[in-house]
């Protein structure tokens, strides 16, 4: 029988801070394939996440098919807007949520992984993080700083991670990120340069697939997911209405479950997808294929 068995492989999922988002669902699906899973968490969310785990608040979500609880091999701090610790301004480094976690930069993460597991310990890298401080502002009202911050946190962070973690990956490994249809179509309400960041992420996926494919023998893909009411998405303000709209207007008229993105990511990062690279895979109940809302002039 064809099945996904990633026993003996190690994944790093960046962008997990609760049980509601795509990162958690991907981490869980990967663990179900037998992979060992490390996660990287944004320092401002790290203590809250550790508390949720310690107090058993997310045990239901952590429950694995065999009854055990999903565990992470490591939980690393990561602020993906900083390539090196020195890039972080003093007020960040001295902030109470950052000062005790050690080197939270992308280079710091790479160094910790090597210290913990050796030179080439990674098979799978998941980038499931984004931030756009002005996401509620239409693009036309977005400041330069807000736009660049969105692109830095949500798109360049992938380049930085592949640059620094790609050399730690074994040939045959796979990188996957999360994008959104707003990178190629107009989605009113998805502002602040976030649409720009997703367009950059999708383009970078193609170029990184070529460059990292040649350099390290790894694949790079992105998943264009349908809307999900995660913590990050609630910052958009209208996420519940976006979920409902897509549910009504998709070829498969049902809400997307984070797990469906998790299992698609497990496939993409498995040898079953060994010829798939540089692609945007839609996991959105088919919404991207529609050109007119259901109930339009028919
Ligand atoms: N929720 C949706 O509707 C939707 C749809 C398509 C794509 N996506 C994408 O999925 C990915 C995951 O988002 P999600 O919706 O599951 O929400 P989420 O809240 O679970 O994940 C976003 C994570 O990014 C982290 N983060 C923010 N800034 C960071 C930084 N500078 N460094 C490190 N981590 C940082 C947050 O702490 C959070 O854990 C994002 O790329 C998002 O754009 C989401």
Write the pLDDT tens digit of every residue in 54-74. Answer: 999 999 999 999 999 999 999
Question: How buried is residue 68: exposed, middle or buried, by Cβ count under 10 Å (0-12/13-18/19+)?
Answer: exposed
How are strands ordered across the β-sheet holding 169-179?
75-77, 36-41, 10-14, 122-127, 169-179, 219-225, 280-283
At residue 235, the pLDDT reads 81
At residue 8, the pLDDT reads 98
225 lines ligand 1 (CB under 6 A): yes
At residue 38, the pLDDT reads 98
232 C-alpha to center of ligand 1: Å? 5
78 lines ligand 1 (CB under 6 A): yes
Q: Are 248 and 229 in contact (CB under 8 A)?
A: no
Does residue 298 sit in helix, strand or coil? coil
At residue 234, the pLDDT reads 87
At residue 273, the pLDDT reads 98
177 C-alpha to center of ligand 1: Å? 10
Q: Which residue has the tokens 């992938």?
A: 158
147 lines ligand 1 (CB under 6 A): no
Q: Are 37 and 152 in contact (CB under 8 A)?
A: no
- The catalytic residue positions are 180, 190
76 lines ligand 1 (CB under 6 A): no
At residue 60, the pLDDT reads 98
147 C-alpha to center of ligand 1: Å? 17
227 lines ligand 1 (CB under 6 A): yes
- pLDDT digit string, tens, across residues 113-128: 999 999 999 999 999 9
Structure tokens at 154: 């949500």
Atom of ligand 1 nearest to the CA of 236: 3
- pLDDT digit string, tens, across residues 249-288: 999 999 999 999 999 999 999 999 999 999 999 999 999 9
Q: Are 181 and 189 in contact (CB under 8 A)?
A: no
| Mean pLDDT of the residues in the chain | 97
Asked if pLDDT for residue 214 goes beyond 90, the answer is yes
Q: Are 122 and 169 in contact (CB under 8 A)?
A: yes
Q: Across-strand partners of 39? A: 13, 75
Q: Are 180 and 190 in contact (CB under 8 A)?
A: yes
Mean pLDDT for 184-192 is 96
Asked if pLDDT for residue 98 goes beyond 90, the answer is yes
Mean pLDDT for 36-44 is 98
Q: Are 231 and 18 in contact (CB under 8 A)?
A: yes
3-state helix, strand, coil in the chain (%, to 5): 45, 15, 40
At residue 219, the pLDDT reads 99
């Amino acid at each position: 029988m064809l099945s996904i068995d990633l026993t003996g492989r190690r994944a790093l999922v960046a962008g997990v801070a609760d049980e509601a988002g795509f990162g958690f669902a991907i981490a869980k699906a990967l663990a179900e394939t037998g992979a060992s899973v490390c996660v990287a968490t944004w320092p401002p969310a790290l203590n809250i996440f550790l508390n949720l785990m310690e107090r058993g608040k997310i045990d239901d979500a952590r429950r694995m098919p065999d009854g055990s609880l999903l565990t992470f091999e490591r939980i690393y701090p990561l602020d993906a807007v900083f390539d090196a610790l020195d890039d972080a301004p003093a007020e960040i480094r001295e902030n109470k949520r950052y000062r005790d976690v050690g080197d939270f930069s992308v280079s710091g993460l790479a160094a910790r992984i090597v210290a913990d597991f050796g030179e080439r310990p990674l098979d799978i890298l998941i980038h499931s993080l984004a931030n756009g401080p002005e996401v509620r502002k239409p693009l036309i009202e977005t400041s330069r700083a807000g736009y660049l911050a969105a692109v830095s946190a949500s798109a360049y962070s992938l380049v930085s991670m592949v640059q620094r973690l790609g050399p730690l990956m074994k040939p045959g490994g796979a990188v996957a990120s999360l994008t959104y249809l707003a990178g190629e179509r107009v989605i009113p309400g998805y502002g602040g340069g976030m649409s720009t960041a997703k367009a950059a992420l999708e383009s970078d996926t193609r170029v990184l697939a070529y460059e990292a494919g040649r350099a390290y023998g790894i694949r790079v893909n992105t998943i264009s997911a349908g809307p999900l009411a995660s913590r990050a998405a609630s910052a958009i303000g209208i996420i519940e209405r976006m979920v409902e709209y897509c549910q009504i207007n998709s070829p498969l008229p049902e809400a997307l479950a984070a797990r469906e993105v998790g299992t698609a990511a497990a496939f993409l990062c498995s040898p079953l997808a060994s010829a798939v690279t540089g692609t945007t895979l839609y996991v959105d109940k088919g919404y991207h294929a529609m050109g007119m809302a259901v109930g339009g002039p028919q």
